[in-house]
């Protein structure tokens, strides 16, 4: 078995899965990566230098990664030369990555681009990204508002509270910095719902209590590119997970 997770596309050269939230794209450095038992995207030990899983069913090269809390489309290759070709497509921005994100407030204008310089910092076993004003941008995305959930009053047995407006965004990620969408959204006063690192913790508590949101509302919904071997266009889609769709309805 190569993966325990839903397969969106597979052929002789590529394997694309629908990664659930709380699943690692690959084991963290220093952690045992023998039999992952579904804790990682693919089965087997992982070579961080080659970015490759070595399992009983064969080798799988990871092309990109998603944060553990992010669900959605994850691309891998079955051959080293195909992996190299796919990574070139990413580096040259010839792979279109689309995300669905629920954020606090209503970005203005309703569509546009966010550009920042983000620095990755590590310490105490944690990785964070920090915006650095005045530096040339190295992180860019484009967004558009798909829908706005207007401010509403939520009532529980204990009390009544007013939740702010929320916006469902469609984001095209042009670069791939650590926690990029989460940091760029929070920097503009629109933290991602359910974000336990950069988010609005009071809002997260209210959303958990009133609509049952218990995870980061960030989903890799689309991946579009030209197959590096067959040269055929691929348009891969992952529907919004049930737990997120139910939160929107509530």
Tell me the CA distances in angstroms from 102 to 149, 218, 248, one per residue in order: 10, 7, 9
Active site residue 116: no
Question: What is the DSSP code string of 98-138?
Answer: EEEEEEES--SSSEEEEEE-EEEEEETTEEEEEE-TTSPP-
User: Tokens 């490759």 label which residue?
Assistant: 52
Which of 67, 69, 116, 200 is flagged as catalytic? 67
Let me know: does 74 contact 99? Beta carbons within 8 Å: no
Distances (CA, A) of 20 to 57, 118, 164, 216, 218: 21, 26, 28, 12, 11
Residue 242 phi/psi, 5-degree rounding, is -55, -40
CA distance 210 to 155: 7
CA 162 and chain centroid, separation: 29
User: Rg of the chain over CA atoms, in angstroms?
Assistant: 19
Supply the residues annotated as catalytic.
Answer: 67
């Amino acid at each position: 078995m190569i993966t325990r997770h839903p397969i969106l596309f597979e052929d002789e050269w590529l394997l694309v899965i629908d990664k659930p939230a709380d699943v690692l794209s690959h084991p963290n450095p220093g952690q045992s990566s023998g039999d992952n038992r579904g804790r990682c995207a693919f089965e087997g030990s992982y070579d961080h230098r080659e970015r490759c899983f070595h399992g009983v069913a064969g080798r799988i090269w990871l092309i990109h990664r998603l944060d553990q809390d992010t669900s959605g489309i994850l691309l891998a290759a079955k051959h080293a030369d195909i992996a190299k070709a796919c990574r070139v497509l990413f580096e040259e921005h010839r792979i279109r990555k689309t995300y669905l994100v629920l954020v606090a407030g209503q970005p203005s204008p309703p569509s546009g681009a966010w550009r920042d310089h983000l620095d990755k910092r590590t310490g105490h076993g944690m990785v964070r990204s920090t915006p650095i004003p005045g530096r040339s941008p190295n992180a860019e995305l484009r967004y558009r508002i798909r829908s706005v959930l207007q401010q509403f009053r939520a009532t529980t047995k204990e009390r009544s509270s007013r939740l702010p407006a929320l916006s469902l965004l469609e984001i095209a990620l042009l670069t791939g910095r650590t926690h990029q969408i989460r940091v760029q959204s929070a920097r503009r006063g629109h933290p991602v719902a359910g974000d336990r690192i950069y988010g609005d913790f009071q809002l997260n508590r209210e959303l958990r209590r009133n609509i049952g949101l218990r995870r980061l509302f960030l989903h890799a919904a689309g991946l579009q590119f030209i197959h590096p071997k067959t040269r055929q266009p691929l348009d891969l889609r992952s529907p919004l997970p049930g737990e997120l769709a139910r939160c929107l309805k509530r």
